[in-house]
Amino acid sequence: MAPDAAAHEEGHHRNVQSGGARAAVFGISDGLVTNVSLILGVAGAHPAGTFVRLTGLAGLVAGAFSMAAGEYVSMQAQRELFQRELEVEAQALRQSPVAEHEELVIIYERRGLEPALARELADRMMRDPATALETHAREELGIDPQSLGSPVLAAISSFAMFAVGALLPLLPWLVSRGNGALVASVIVGAVAALAVGTTLGALTGRSIARSAVRQLAVAALAAAVTYGIGRAVGATA
C-alpha cells in the first residue's frame, strides 16, 4: 500500500486508547443520569426549591470530583501496569535476543506467513531495539507503547463532562421552583439523554435511534425509581 493510501486509511480511525474520549462520553452520561435521578428523587418529597438546588449542586460537585478521581486512579494504574510489562519485555530483549527473535517468528507463522517470510520479517523488526520492543509489545502483549493513555486528560475530561451532564437537569431549578421546575427538569433530562444516545450511536457506528432510545430508557428508569422513593418518603415523613 502506498504511503498516501496508508495515511488515508489511518485517517478513518480515531484514537480510542488515550482515555479522554471514553471518559468524556461516560462522564456526561453518568452526570446526566446521576443528577436527574438525584434531583427528581429529592423533588418527589416536595421540599423547598432551595433544598433541591442545593442537592443538585452538591451532586454535581461531588460527582464530578469522584468521577475525575476514579478515572485518574484507574488510568494511572493501567498505565503503570503497561509500563511494567514493557520493562519486562525490554529486559527479555536485552538478555535473550535469540529466543525473542524465534518467538516473533512463531507469532508470524501462526498468523499465516510462510516460514521464510516470517523469519525475514522478524529479522527486520529485531534490527532496531526500539522497533523490536514496539513490535513485541504489540504482538505479544497487545500494547501500543505510544498510546498508553493519559490519566490527567482522562480525569479532566471526566470532571468537565460529568459537570455538564449534571448541570442540565439542574438548570430549571436555578431559575424556577415547584412543579414548573420539576416538569422542565424532566424535559431537559429527556432531551439531553436522547442527545447523548445519538452522539454515542454516531461515534460507535451503531443505530442512532437505538442508542438514543436506550439512553433515554436508562435515564427514565433511574429517575422514575428515585422519584417514587422520594414521593414515598415525603408522604410518610
Region 182-192: mean pLDDT is: 93
Say which range, 61-70, 165-174, 194-203, has the weakest mean pLDDT: 194-203
- Nearest alpha-carbon partner for 109 in 139, 75, 131, 69: 139
Q: Is 27:161 a contact under the CB 8 Å cutoff? A: yes
pLDDT digits (tens, 9 = 90+) for 59-108: 999 999 999 999 899 889 988 988 898 888 889 888 988 998 988 889 88
What pTM was estimated for this model as a whole? 0.73
CB contact set of 131 (below 8 Å; sequence gap of 6+): 125
Q: How does residue 12 score in pLDDT terms, banded at 50, 70 and 90? A: very low
pLDDT averaged over the chain?
84
Q: Taking the CA atoms of the chain, what radius of gyration do you get in angstroms?
A: 25
